[in-house]
Chains A and B, each alone.
Chain A
Amino acid sequence: MKSETVVDIKDLVFRWPRQSTACLDLPELRLQRGEHAFLHGPSGCGKSTLLSLIGGVLAPGNGRIDLLGQDLGRLRSTQRDRLRADHIGFVFQQFNLVPYLPVIDNVLLPCRFSVRRRERAQTSGSSLRGEAERLLGHLDLARDLWRRPATDLSVGQQQRVAAARALIGHPELLIADEPTSALDAERQEAFLDLLLREANAAGSTVLFVSHDRRLAPHFLRDLALPALNRAASGETA
Chain B
Amino acid sequence: MNYLIALAVRSAWNRRYTLSFTLLSIALATSLLVGVERLRHDVRESFSQSVSGTDLVVGARASPVQLMLYAVFRIGEATQNMRWTSAQKLAHHPAVAWNIPLSLGDSHHGFPVLGTSLDYFTYFRFGDRQPLRMQAGKPFAGVFDAVLGAEVARKLAYQLGQKIVLAHGSVALEGAAHSDKPFFVVGILAPTGTPVDRTVHISLTGMEAIHLDWQGGAPVPGFSIPPELVKKFDLTPKTITAQLIGLKQRGDVFAMQRAMANDVDEPLMGVMPGVALDQLWEVVGQGEKALLLVSWMVALVGLGGLVAVILASLDARRRELAILRSVGARPRELLLLLALEGVSVTVGGMVAGLALLAALLFFGTPWIEARYGISLNGLCFSGDDLVSLATLLGWILLAGSVASLLPGLRAYRLSLIDGLSPRT
> Is A145 part of the contact surface with B, judged by Cβ < 8 Å?
no
The contact of B10 among A52, A85, A101, A165, by CB within 8 Å, is A101
> Is B291 part of the contact surface with A, judged by Cβ < 8 Å?
no
**Do B330 and A99 touch (CB < 8 A)?**
no
Q: How far apart are A43's CB and chain B's nearest CB, in angstroms?
A: 13
Closest chain B residue to A113, Cβ basis: B328
Q: In the complex, which residues 304-326 of chain B have their Cβ closer than 8 Å to any Cβ of chain A?
A: 316, 319-320, 322-326
Contact flag A52-B420 (CB < 8 Å), given A95-B319, A100-B14, A112-B3 = yes
Contact flag A99-B420 (CB < 8 Å), given A84-B328, A110-B328 = no
Closest chain A residue to B10, Cβ basis: A100
Report the separation of the CA atoms of residues A93 and B326 in the bound assembly, to the nearest whole angstrom.
Answer: 13
**Do B420 and A100 touch (CB < 8 A)?**
no
**Do B333 and A113 touch (CB < 8 A)?**
yes
**Do A48 and B328 touch (CB < 8 A)?**
no
**Do A57 and B419 touch (CB < 8 A)?**
yes
> Is A219 part of the contact surface with B, judged by Cβ < 8 Å?
no
Q: How large is the interface on A (under 10, 10 to 19, 20 to 34, 35 or more residues)?
A: 20 to 34
Contacts of B322 in A (CB 8 A): 95
> Is A28 part of the contact surface with B, judged by Cβ < 8 Å?
no
Contact flag A48-B421 (CB < 8 Å), given A95-B319, A99-B14, A101-B10 = yes
Q: How far apart are A141's CB and chain B's nearest CB, in angstroms?
A: 18
Report the separation of the CA atoms of residues A98 and B421 in the bound assembly, to the nearest whole angstrom.
Answer: 14
Q: How far apart are A146's CB and chain B's nearest CB, in angstroms?
A: 17
Contacts of B422 in A (CB 8 A): 92, 95
Report the separation of the CA atoms of residues A98 and B422 in the bound assembly, to the nearest whole angstrom.
Answer: 12
Closest chain A residue to B328, Cβ basis: A85
**Do B420 and A98 touch (CB < 8 A)?**
no
**Do B419 and A52 touch (CB < 8 A)?**
yes
Report the separation of the CA atoms of residues A165 and B323 in the bound assembly, to the nearest whole angstrom.
Answer: 11
Contacts of A99 in B (CB 8 A): 14, 316, 320
Q: How large is the interface on B (under 10, 10 to 19, 20 to 34, 35 or more residues)?
A: 20 to 34
> Is B229 part of the contact surface with A, judged by Cβ < 8 Å?
no
Report the separation of the CA atoms of residues A100 and B420 in the bound assembly, to the nearest whole angstrom.
Answer: 19
> Is B302 part of the contact surface with A, judged by Cβ < 8 Å?
no
Contacts of B421 in A (CB 8 A): 48, 51-52, 92-93, 177
Q: How far apart are B370's CB and chain A's nearest CB, in angstroms?
A: 51
**Do A78 and B319 touch (CB < 8 A)?**
no
> Is A192 part of the contact surface with B, judged by Cβ < 8 Å?
no
> Is A194 part of the contact surface with B, judged by Cβ < 8 Å?
no
> Is B380 part of the contact surface with A, judged by Cβ < 8 Å?
no
Contacts of B328 in A (CB 8 A): 81-82, 84-86, 109-110, 112-114, 117
Contacts of B420 in A (CB 8 A): 51-52, 55, 57, 90, 92, 177
Report the separation of the CA atoms of residues A114 and B329 in the bound assembly, to the nearest whole angstrom.
Answer: 9
Closest chain B residue to A177, Cβ basis: B421
The contact of A58 among B323, B419, B424, by CB within 8 Å, is B419
Q: In the complex, which residues 32-74 of chain A have their Cβ closer than 8 Å to any Cβ of chain B?
A: 48, 51-52, 55, 57-58
> Is A199 part of the contact surface with B, judged by Cβ < 8 Å?
no
> Is B327 part of the contact surface with A, judged by Cβ < 8 Å?
yes
**Do A96 and B330 touch (CB < 8 A)?**
no
> Is B285 part of the contact surface with A, judged by Cβ < 8 Å?
no
> Is B219 part of the contact surface with A, judged by Cβ < 8 Å?
no
Give A99-115 as 1s and 0s: 1 = Cβ < 8 Å from B's Cβ atoms: 11100000001101110
The contact of B323 among A77, A93, A96, A117, by CB within 8 Å, is A96
Report the separation of the CA atoms of residues A165 and B328 in the bound assembly, to the nearest whole angstrom.
Answer: 12
Contacts of A84 in B (CB 8 A): 328
Report the separation of the CA atoms of residues A78 and B284 in the bound assembly, to the nearest whole angstrom.
Answer: 59
Closest chain A residue to B323, Cβ basis: A98
Contact flag A81-B330 (CB < 8 Å), given A58-B419, A95-B323, A99-B316 = yes
> Is A97 part of the contact surface with B, judged by Cβ < 8 Å?
yes
Report the separation of the CA atoms of residues A78 and B419 in the bound assembly, to the nearest whole angstrom.
Answer: 14
Contacts of B424 in A (CB 8 A): 94-95
Closest chain B residue to A53, Cβ basis: B419
Report the separation of the CA atoms of residues A93 and B420 in the bound assembly, to the nearest whole angstrom.
Answer: 11
Contacts of B14 in A (CB 8 A): 99-100
**Do B327 and A81 touch (CB < 8 A)?**
no
**Do B324 and A98 touch (CB < 8 A)?**
yes
> Is B331 part of the contact surface with A, judged by Cβ < 8 Å?
yes
Contacts of B13 in A (CB 8 A): 100
Contacts of A109 in B (CB 8 A): 323-324, 327-328
Report the separation of the CA atoms of residues A165 and B10 in the bound assembly, to the nearest whole angstrom.
Answer: 19
Report the separation of the CA atoms of residues A97 and B326 in the bound assembly, to the nearest whole angstrom.
Answer: 11
Report the separation of the CA atoms of residues A81 and B325 in the bound assembly, to the nearest whole angstrom.
Answer: 9
> Is B135 part of the contact surface with A, judged by Cβ < 8 Å?
no
Report the separation of the CA atoms of residues A226 and B419 in the bound assembly, to the nearest whole angstrom.
Answer: 22
Task: Sample 27 A-B pairs with CB under 8 A, ordered by A number.
Answer: A51-B421, A52-B420, A57-B419, A58-B419, A77-B331, A78-B330, A82-B328, A82-B330, A85-B327, A85-B328, A85-B329, A90-B327, A92-B421, A95-B319, A95-B323, A95-B422, A96-B323, A98-B324, A100-B13, A109-B323, A109-B324, A109-B328, A112-B3, A112-B328, A113-B324, A113-B330, A165-B327
Listed in ascending order, the chain B residues whose CB lies under 8 Å from chain A are 3, 7, 10-11, 13-14, 316, 319-320, 322-333, 419-422, 424
Which 9 A-B pairs have CB atoms at the shortest separation, nearest pair first? A85-B328, A113-B328, A100-B14, A109-B327, A57-B419, A52-B419, A90-B326, A110-B327, A81-B330
